[in-house]
Amino acid sequence: MNQRLRMNFRLAFTSFFLGILTAFMVWSFQWVMESWKEVTLDMPGDVTVLRMIEGPQMVTEADEAVALEELKAYLRERSLALIVSSVGDGRPEILLYDPHGVVSWFPRGNPEDSQLATDEVYLFQGTYSERRWSESRTTPLLPKGVVVKGVIRAPSRAGDLQYARRIGGDPLLKSQVVV
Digit-coded pLDDT (tens) for 23-73: 999 998 888 766 655 566 777 777 776 666 666 677 777 887 888 888 889
pLDDT value for 152: 94
What are the residue ranges in the chain where pLDDT is below 50?
Answer: none
Beta strand ranges found along the chain (DSSP E): 49-52, 82-86, 93-97, 120-124, 147-152, 163-166, 175-178
Residue 103, judged by CB atoms within 10 A of its CB (0-12, 13-18, 19+), counts as buried
Contacts of 143 (CB under 8 A, 6+ apart): 91
pLDDT value for 57: 72
Predicted TM-score of the model (pTM): 0.68
Contacts of 38 (CB under 8 A, 6+ apart): 47, 49
- If you ran DSSP here, which 8-state letter would residue 86 be given? E
Q: What share of the chain is helix, strand, coil (3-state, %, to 5)?
A: 40, 20, 45
pLDDT value for 175: 60
Contacts of 44 (CB under 8 A, 6+ apart): 102, 103, 104
- Which residues sit opposite 120 in a β-bridge? 147
Residue 177, judged by CB atoms within 10 A of its CB (0-12, 13-18, 19+), counts as middle
pLDDT value for 62: 81
